[in-house]
Chains A and B, each alone.
Chain A
Amino acid sequence: MVVAGTRPSPERRAVIVGIGATEFSKASGRSELRLATEATLAALADAGLERGAVDGAVTFTMDSTPETELARSAGFGDLRFFARAPHGGHGGCATLLFAALAVESGSAHTVVCYRALNERSGVRFGQAGGYDPGEGAEGVRLSWLTTFGATVPATFAAILARRYMHETGATSEDFGRLSVLSRRNAATNPNAWFYEKPITLEDHQNSRLISDPLRLLDCCQETDGAVALIITTAERGRHLRQRPVEIVAAAQGAGPEQEGLSIYHRADMTDPAESRIVARQLWERSGLGPADLDVAIAYDHFTPLVLMQLEAFGLCGRGEAGPALRDGFFNLDGKLPLNTHGGHLGEGYIHGMNGIAEAVRQLRGTAVNQVAGAHAALVTSGGAGPTSGALLAA
């Protein structure tokens, strides 16, 4: 990984050497600790590493399984590095940033990044009332929204979507085309919840309104499951079971008047500045640009916010994501295949960690919807919130 212009020697660069996951379901029937443990052991087996080799662990602040509990359950060695990425799914690629900084600095040799959640059978993020933010700064921030019935993430996103439509001319059908694309890719992915269940644009238009203009099929799934990733240095990764995938760059970003989704007090609230801040770091550090990408994995919490991210990352011009989707630019046989696993809309919602795993499969050449000769992949962790992203290559 490149940090602030300095690139470590090739053997010290951070690589992803293992990926593991549970099934993606609506009722796992077991604890989040158990899910995290299963995914981690699967990732270690994928890498060909012993449990005791792990000396670092990174998860989300929202995760219910502390690093030490995973270590006690999965049987790690002594831990030398543990950290947590904030802001929900927006922290997905930040876990890669933290792990890469750890292994490249020598703070740890082998780091597990993980996320486990029973988000359908347990606490559902899309329902009101399950979360008490308290009366500190975050509780006050949310109170300016919840007091007026803007209580669920779909409502926050809908207000951005409506303004985006007003400014760019985007339509609900434009949003729907992303949903159709995602479900088409999921339909040929046996690990996807919506395997063999594609939808039509008409299905999208007929799905119930959640927060207008968002319909049910504009919203990500709620999923039970876990994903784990193993990060080490290229030198160590060379001798393991899989082709290493380099973390060429990973970055976080927060912009003016940054809030989680409700970026209503920014001069231009349909500009996800946080995504542009991440993008600029990724391009500057890697020397790559949008034209160098073979595949893109964009965090799909709500379809309109994906369109805004695609534009902020420069994959298409402002207001052009809808037309690009219409023209097939992001299809499997298009110029830049997008969310080839089906995304959160089609595969499952593991807070973006399943998207990172898909990017690794694409770069190994083992994805079910494989993009021929994929060398470089972009992964985003969502727009309109304090976010992160990563550029992976093999």
Chain B
Amino acid sequence: MSENDSIDARPLARRPPPRTSETAFFWEGIDAGELRIQRCSSCDAHQHPPRAACLSCGSLELSYDVVDGRGRVYSYTTHHHPPVPGPQPPFDVILVSLPQGVRLLSNLIDALPGVLRVDLPVEVRFVEVQPGLTLPLFAPSDPAERPDRRPATGR
């Protein structure tokens, strides 16, 4: 289902996520239209959400890869109640599994009713959900599972 972001109708805005020494690269990437996943400079392991050190080898030398943002739905929920800051219920929260071996929590957008399922192929969209806050949201990869309209805006 569409996220239906109508800012004026919403009582509470999302709280922008903190940008710390661990997370700033991710959100700066989103602002630049890139999905960046943390990668260890020593052992090349990917991890998300970002950590202070590599979970695999303990190295503090961390970098990131820009990934293509194609993945599959690992699990999901449609949230109905209570109201929350940001999206208007009902909206879909999805856990996306990326080929890099990490999972990201996000929302499903630009989807026809009824297509949400485990293993649904999805691809990233960068959507400004409120002034100054852009998020990586996901739409079905198959155009047949998206509404017949211009994609990639998230609206």
Q: Are A146 and B15 in contact (CB under 8 A)?
A: yes
Interface size on B, residues (CB 8 A): 35
Residues of A contacting B91 in the complex (Cβ-Cβ under 8 angstroms): 149
Query: Given contacts A139-B18, A264-B105, A265-B103, is CB(A212)–CB(B85) below 8 Å?
Result: no
In the assembled complex, the CB of A326 is this many whole angstroms from the nearest CB of chain B, namely 24
Whether A210 lies near B80 (C-beta < 8 A) is yes
The residue of chain A having its C-beta at the shortest distance from the C-beta of B105 within the complex is: A148
A159 touches B20 (CB 8 A): no
Q: Which of A254-310 contact B (CB under 8 A)?
A: 262, 264-265, 269
Query: When the two chains form their complex, are residues B77 and A211 in contact, meaning their CB atoms are under 8 A apart?
Result: yes
* Residues on the A chain within 8 Å of B79, using CB: 149-150, 155, 158, 210-212
Question: B87 is contacted by which of A129, A149, A163, A210 (Cβ under 8 Å)?
Answer: A149
Residue B7 at the chain A interface, CB threshold 8 Å: no
Tell me the bound Cα distance from A57 to B95 in angstroms: 41
Interface string of A131-157 (1 = CB under 8 A from B): 000010001110111111111100100
Q: Provide the residues of chain A in CB contact with B12, threshold 8 Å.
A: 128-129
Q: Are A162 and B118 in contact (CB under 8 A)?
A: yes
Whether B41 is near chain A, meaning CB under 8 Å from some CB there, is no
Whether A128 contacts B75 in the complex (CB less than 8 A), given A135-B18, A148-B105, A149-B93, comes out as: no
In the complex, A146 Cα to B107 Cα: how many Å? 11
Mask of A156-180 contacts with B, CB within 8 angstroms, 1/0: 0011111100100000000000000
A351-373 CB contacts (< 8 Å) to partner B: none
Contact of A163 among B16, B17, B74 (CB under 8 A): B74
- On whether the beta carbons of A159 and B85 are closer than 8 Å, the reply is no
Nearest-neighbour CB distance to chain B for A159, whole angstroms, equals 5
Taking the nearest CB of chain A, how far is it from the CB of B132, in angstroms?
13
Complex CA gap A262/B105 in Å reads 10
Find A208's partner among B20, B81, B135 (CB 8 Å cutoff). Answer: B81
A121 in the interface (beta carbon within 8 A): no
Partner of A211, one of B22, B49, B78, B102: B78
Cβ contact within 8 Å between B77 and A162? yes
Cβ-defined contact, B14 with A147, below 8 A: yes
A140-B74 contact in complex given A150-B93, A151-B85, A209-B81, C-beta closer than 8 Å: no
Known interface pairs A135-B20, A141-B49; A150-B105 also in contact (CB < 8 Å): yes
Min CB gap A356→B, angstroms: 29
Q: Report the minimal beta-carbon distance from B50 to chain A, rounded to whole angstroms.
A: 9
Please give the distance in Å from A48's CB to the nearest CB on chain B: 45
Whether A105 sits at the interface, judged by CB under 8 Å, is no
Q: Which residue of B lies closest to A257 (CB)?
A: B55
A162-B75, A163-B75 are contacts. A264–B95 as well, Cβ < 8 Å? yes
* Known A-B contacts A160-B75, A162-B77; A147 and B135 likewise in contact (beta carbons under 8 Å): yes
* Interface members, chain B 54-87 (any A CB < 8 Å): 74-87
Contacts of A265 on B, CB cut-off 8 Å? 48-49, 102-103
**Nearest-Cβ distance from residue A163 to partner chain B, whole angstroms:** 4
Bound CA–CA A326/B40 (angstroms): 48
Contacts of A269 in B (CB 8 A): 75
Most chain B CB within a 10 A radius of its CB, from A140, A147, A214: A147
Q: B residues engaging A (CB < 8 A)?
A: 12, 14-18, 20, 22-23, 48-49, 74-87, 91, 93, 95, 102-103, 105-107, 118, 135
Q: List 16 A-B contacts (CB under 8 A).
A: A129-B12, A129-B85, A135-B20, A140-B18, A140-B20, A144-B17, A148-B86, A149-B91, A150-B77, A151-B84, A162-B75, A162-B76, A162-B118, A209-B78, A212-B77, A213-B77
Interface of A with B (CB < 8 Å)?
A: 126-129, 135, 139-141, 143-152, 155, 158-163, 166, 208-214, 262, 264-265, 269
